[in-house]
Structure 1
Amino acid sequence: MNINDKLFEHQVNRNLKGIELEKEGEIEEAILLYEANVSECFEGNLPYDRLRIIYNRLKRYEDLIRVLEQAVYVFDTKVNKIRSDRLPKLDKFNDQLEKAKRKCN
């Protein structure tokens, strides 16, 4: 297993633990795990989607916008261009970002 595979496996495990923590009501702990994946440009949508929901619910709109901007960046520049889900997710994150910005104004 190469270093990228190990990192991806670690990130997936963080996401799974974050979901578990959310179910237990440990939202702040889940946020820390999801944020770690966001900071490492995780190439899946789960941490961005979960943080969008959490930050929206908590009315933490600046955090919401920051996470969505990172999601747009990752899906625009990091995710493999031939992935079939790349453009639909990029469009979704762009739409959500615009809605979040309107909410913040």
Structure 2
Amino acid sequence: MQEKKISAIRKIAKVLYSHQRDGNCCGVLPIVIDRGMGIECDIPVENKDGMTRSMIFKLISSLDERFQILSYLVKFWAKVQDLNSQRELTMSSMSIISLVAFHLQ
């Protein structure tokens, strides 16, 4: 099973390499960075807790549009303040979104 996961990540890396000049497929965190656009994302593999939280947040977003708007706003603010960076062990996006959900209860 582990070999299938590694194979899937390598396939993703191969496609990403084809769209950029330089690439690095190693590191502590599974982060993909598009230097051209300045976008960072991580690629979790079989993170059931994260998938469950994502489904819950999607449900909340469908019920109240303020949740999505406020989540984007707070995440943007946190990024500008350097409070949302996995590499620097600050708050994760999930933590920030959880705080927004708690605030809107």
TM-score for the superposition, normalised by structure 2: 0.25
- Where is the strand percentage greater, Structure 1 or Structure 2? 2
TM-score after normalising by structure 1? 0.25
User: Greater RCO between the two (CA within 8 Å, min separation 6)?
Assistant: 1
- Higher helix fraction (1 or 2): 1
